[in-house]
Structure formats: C-alpha cells, structure tokens
Amino acid sequence: ETATVAVVPGDGIGHEVVPAALEVLDAVADIEFVHAEAGDAVAEQRGTPLPEGTLEAVSEADATLFGATGETSADVILPLRDAVDSFVNVRPARTYPGVDAVQPETDLVILRENTEGVYAGVENRLTEDVSTLTRLVTQSASRRLAEFACDYVESNGHDGFTVAHKNNVMRVTDGLFVDTVREEAAARGVDVDEAYMDAMATHLAMDPAGYDVIVCPNLAGDVLSDLAAGLVGGLGLLPSANIGSERGIFEPVHGCAPDIAGEGIANPSATILSAAMLLEFLGADGAARDVRAAVEATLADGPRTPDLGGTATTDAVAEAVVDRLPEH
Amino acid sequence: ETATVAVVPGDGIGHEVVPAALEVLDAVADIEFVHAEAGDAVAEQRGTPLPEGTLEAVSEADATLFGATGETSADVILPLRDAVDSFVNVRPARTYPGVDAVQPETDLVILRENTEGVYAGVENRLTEDVSTLTRLVTQSASRRLAEFACDYVESNGHDGFTVAHKNNVMRVTDGLFVDTVREEAAARGVDVDEAYMDAMATHLAMDPAGYDVIVCPNLAGDVLSDLAAGLVGGLGLLPSANIGSERGIFEPVHGCAPDIAGEGIANPSATILSAAMLLEFLGADGAARDVRAAVEATLADGPRTPDLGGTATTDAVAEAVVDRLPEH
Ligand SMILES: CC(C)[C@H](C(=O)O)[C@@H](O)C(=O)O
Ligand SMILES: CC(C)[C@H](C(=O)O)[C@@H](O)C(=O)O
C-alpha cells in the first residue's frame, strides 16, 4: 500500500530545498504527498505558526518531510515532535570528500532524547526575582532511547556507544538517565563508554574520529549535534530524523536562511539526505541507499551550490542527484 | 598589608602544578600562604573530600589557588564556589604561537554564571519512573553577572559581548536571564549580540575568531568553555577564575590527570596563568602582566612539557617562567 508523507516546507529556503527533495523521492518511490503549511509566514497570515490542519496531517501521515522555519521554530517543531511521539532525534554528522571541514575525519551519529529534559520543563516566575524550570527525566523515556541505541548499534555494525551526561551535577535526573541506559545496554551486551557533556565538547572538538555513536539527553544532544555540525563544515549537509514508534519527521538541521531565500541557490543536500532517512524509516532501504549514493556522487563531481564554492542552483543539484540514481 | 592566599593542590598533578605556580607567585608578590587539602585522597583518609578546615581556609583567605581534584570534584569545587559567593566564572581561551590548535585564531573569554541554573537544582525522584530537577534563574544573579560583564568589556577595551542562551525553549528562565542582561547592558551603553547556545556551538567550532566575550548561564558556560578549550588545543593552557564580591578561587581548567601524576611532567602553564588572574584580583596588575608575559615567552622559546611535544619537567618550565620575569 502506498505510504502517505506530509510535506511541510516551512519558511524561506524550505520552499526551495523541499521541492528539490520531492523530485528525488518521486524518482525512487511511490508515495502519496499531503502538503501542509507551518512557520513565520503562516503565523502572519493566519495567526498561528502551526495550523490545526498541519498538526493533523503530520499526526496522520506515515512520515513527514519538514523544511525549515524561522522565528517560530520552537512553536512548530516541538509540538510536531510531540504529535508523532518522537522519542529520539537521530543526527548523523559526517564529512564528504572535497567538502571543507574543521575536522575532516568526523563520522558519527548523535542519538538525542527527544521528549523530555528541559524541553518538557514546566516554568514558573515565582517572584519578581525568582524563576524556575522543572527538568523532567523518566526511566521509561531513558529506556526507550537506550533500546533504540542498542538496536542502532547492532544494525549498523558498531561496537557500542558513548553516553554523554552531567550526572556529577544533575545526580538524580542524569543519574537515572545514565543508570537506565547502562542497565539496558548491559542486558543487551552492548558496550557503553561515558563522558561528561563538557568533557565531550572538548573531545569532539579535538578528536571527533574517536566517536561513532553518542547517546544523550535532549539539551546535551541539541548542543553536541550543533557542535558536530560545526566540525563537519556547517549545517548545510546534515539531515536528521525524529523517530516515533509509528511515525517520523525528517528535517535538515539547517534553518530557513532568510539571507539567501528566494534566490534558488540553497543547497538541497541536507533535505535530500533527510528524505533518504525517511525512505529507510518506511522500509525502503534500497531506495535510501541509492539516494545517499547519488548525493555522495554529486558532492564528489557534480554541480555545487555557492555554500560549497560552486555556482549551481538548487534545481541543478537536485537534477544531478536524480541523474545519478539507478533505474527505479 | 600582606594578602592571604589559601592553597589547595587537590589530587594527582595538582601536587605538581600548584607548587610550580607558587614559585612564580613567590618571585613577584608578598603573599601569606595557607595550605589546605581537598579531593579524592583526603576523602579516603578522612571520610570527606572537603574537610571543615579547608572550607574555612578558603572562606577566610583573600583568594585561593586551587589545583585539580578527581572523582570528588563536584563535592569539592561546587561548595567552595558557594563559600566565596562566586557569581561569575571567568574562562579565557586563547592560543599561543607555536602551540597546535584546531582553531589557531581563538582568543575569547567566557563569563559563566556561577551560582545557579541546573547547578542550584533541587532534585527529586518522584516515582519509580519520574525524576525532576528544578533549575533556578534569578534576576539578581543575572544582573550581577551582567554588571560584571559590562565592567569587563569596558576595562578590556571590547565593544560588547554575546549572550548565549536557550530562551526559545526555556522561555521563562532563560527569558529572565537574557532580558536582565540586555537591560543592564543597555543602561550601560554596552552592545549585546545574542545566540542560541546550540547555534553558538556551531559558530565557535567554525569561526571562534568571531567572538571576544561570551556571557551565559552556568551549564551553557560549562560546555561552551570546554568546547573553546578543545579548539585551542586542549585544557592544558587554560586558567580560570571564580570571582566573588570579596574573594576568589583560581584554578586551571584541566583535571588531576591520574595517568601522568607523579612523573613531574605536567604542564604548569594553566596554573601559573590562574595565579596571574589571582594577582590581578588582588590588585597586583603589574605582577599579573609580568607573569603572563613570562609564560608567553616560555611557550614561545622555552622548555616544553611532553603535552606540547617537549621533554621538560614541570619544574624546568616553572624555572624558565621565573627566569623570564623582570626584577621584583
Ligand atoms: C528550534 C529549536 C526548538 C530546536 C531544538 O532546540 O530542538 C532546534 O534547535 C533543533 O535542534 O532542532
Ligand atoms: C567538576 C564539575 C562540577 C565542574 C562544573 O561542572 O562546573 C567542572 O566541570 C568545571 O567546569 O569546573
């Protein structure tokens, strides 16, 4: 039966990179697309950045391809992650031959808890002077993430993973997180290393090649994955997947780039690679592999957008990727 | 009147780098030293990593020179920061000619809130499944940090500072933090840029030269300063200052390095640079400048410890620094 994919371009270059990725998806899979709106522009027109219809479309689709939004990002992506019960955010960060990077040997993935931590925080302004946020960590969410991490490590041929945390300061909450992750990994026979998230930032900056898979709480994952993005040369090539038990949202790590929006020169690679993660999620592993290979081949010898030193348009890159796909 | 400085070497190489820094201090200033113990070793001998006498010595001294501790670090340094009411942690990160760095253009300082955020967190295990931590942000602590930041920017000839935060997720608490900092800076006529802490990690990794002074909440400062440390080539050369209204604690950013402890080859530069920050805090600006210049001169053409590719001992480096000081 044909899969249904919600398509939410968002703002700015979202309207350029998402259509480019759709061309690629069209070439390899039979998908029914449902188009929906979210972000700054729709907030201005309709008073809300996340219209009811969009929330419904994403909640009902098998998967969602999301572009990028602007100022309203938190009001859009956080409720959408909730709507698909996305318990893990998968963020691979790797370099490609010929693409400049601060640390060219980087090839790792961050598995970020995606439902709680400070993101589930209930906040209060208690007095004029005092405000609080209640950070939430549950054993169940930690276990679910750990199970995913163990599956991920096994199916990708890694030895184990590193858990990053701050349990010397957040003793009870990150204590529960780390203990649960360690317990689950032990039960599964998966190796676990540990690092404080601050020390991890030093290590990543100096020697990212030392890491394959990093498992961490929500905010730690937010920061460490953006650090990894910096090491591989910016956000331009990084895809991500918000995985729930039945649905997922797939989005480039970059933003809506108002400075170049409308010029048709945005790099579509991150969104096309997000589409490959979407294909994998839908069980189309072969198509996912083909798309990834075509993106790599294009990065190696195809046209490049200005962010990578070229002069090609978004469409030219998308076409080059499609040209490099095997018959489907 | 002679200043009193508490000296807490801690564990491991703390017992090597702190005596080295004392030699340098002895050469430039008239200080009365009070020696005290803390850390893993004392915990084993006396059942507590922070004996009452140490807490008292630090609470009463004009300033403290602290080395490094091991497993018990959080139980030592966090109460000590509290004891001197240290509201800001000053963490400069710069490179030196001839010392390898991932990003050789780095020269910035992080001003980290040092009393609250998740560090002031009251934690609870509410049920088998659920744990919480209450993150605290006050207007008064945010203002005090902002006042310090404005003074710092003015006296160091910078145009302004960048405040790093996550107020799109922690709307009330980081909202209060950022609003207070912005307000104070506006009142003082100091420019303020802003960045989300995750975006800041990307920017720092790619272009640290774009930043001079970064002001941020406690945990953000912990992670971003360790990231900056990675960019300048590791923790080996980084000093830090925990500043209170009347007292301060000065410590290298590195740990107690059990792997090389006892060999007499630890790099004392970070501790000597911390001693320079201590001198400045005590009002001995000239001596502080002289010590910094002597460390730089030693790094440029003097003996080097193995972490910098040399074969010199800790003592040889300390002597080289003392040799490069003007008469005092
Ligand atoms: C927009 C923001 C709320 C979001 C986050 O913090 O998760 C973004 O930074 C990301 O990492 O996807
Ligand atoms: C030891 C630990 C509690 C401490 C901190 O988190 O502040 C350390 O990482 C530091 O940055 O000085």
Partner-chain contact A172 B130, CB within 8 Å: no
Q: How confident is the model at residue A1 (pLDDT cuts 50, 70, 90)?
A: confident
Residue B161 CA to residue B34 CA, distance in Å, equals 37
- For position A222, what pLDDT does the model report? 97
Burial-class residue B186 by CB neighbours within 10 Å (0-12, 13-18, 19+): exposed
The tens digit of pLDDT for each residue in B263-303 reads: 999 999 999 999 999 999 999 999 999 999 999 999 999 99
- For position A39, what pLDDT does the model report? 98
> From the CA atom positions of chain B, what is the Rg in Å?
19
- B166, B167, B168, B196: which to mutate for ligand 1, most atoms within 8 A of CB? B168
- CB atoms closer than 10 angstroms to residue A47: 8
**Can you say how many angstroms the Cα of residue B313 is from the centroid of all Cα atoms in its chain?**
24
The tens digit of pLDDT for each residue in B132-187 reads: 999 999 999 999 999 999 999 999 999 999 999 999 999 999 999 999 999 999 99
Ligand 1: centre distance to CA A222 (Å): 7
Interface of A with B in 159-218 (CB under 8 A): 166, 168-173, 175-176, 197-199, 201-206
Please indicate whether residue A166 is annotated as part of the active site. yes
- To the nearest whole number, what is the mean pLDDT of chain A? 97
- For position B1, what pLDDT does the model report? 77
Residue A36 CA to residue A64 CA, distance in Å, equals 10
Secondary structure of residue A192 in the 3-state scheme:
strand
Confirm or reject: Cβ of A187 under 6 Å from ligand 1: no
Q: Is A120 on the interface with B (CB under 8 A)?
A: no
- For position A121, what pLDDT does the model report? 84
Residues with CB under 6 A from ligand 2: A 168-169, 198; B 73-74, 77-78, 222
Residue B152 CA to residue B200 CA, distance in Å, equals 21
Please state whether beta strands B3-10 and B31-35 pair in parallel, antiparallel, or not at all (unpaired). parallel
Nearest atom within ligand 2 for CA of residue B78:
3
Q: How confident is the model at residue B214 (pLDDT cuts 50, 70, 90)?
A: very high
User: Does B48 have pLDDT greater than 90?
Assistant: yes
Task: State mean pLDDT over A284-300.
Answer: 97
User: Does A32 have pLDDT greater than 90?
Assistant: yes
Nearest-CA distance from A245 to chain B in Å? 20
Q: How confident is the model at residue B97 (pLDDT cuts 50, 70, 90)?
A: confident
In DSSP terms, A131 is beta-bridged to: A125, B137
The answer to whether the beta carbons of residues A107 and A94 sit under 8 Å apart is yes
Residue A296 CA to residue A151 CA, distance in Å, equals 26
Nearest CB neighbour to B168, from listed A73, A136, A201? A73
The tens digit of pLDDT for each residue in A97-127 reads: 888 999 999 999 999 999 999 999 899 999 9
For residue A237, give the DSSP letter. Answer: G
User: Does B235 have pLDDT greater than 90?
Assistant: no
- For position B234, what pLDDT does the model report? 80
- State residue B261 phi and psi, 5-degree precision: -60, 140
The tens digit of pLDDT for each residue in B62-84 reads: 999 999 999 999 999 999 999 99
Q: How far from A138 is each of A20, A175, B132, CA to CA, in Å?
A: 39, 11, 8
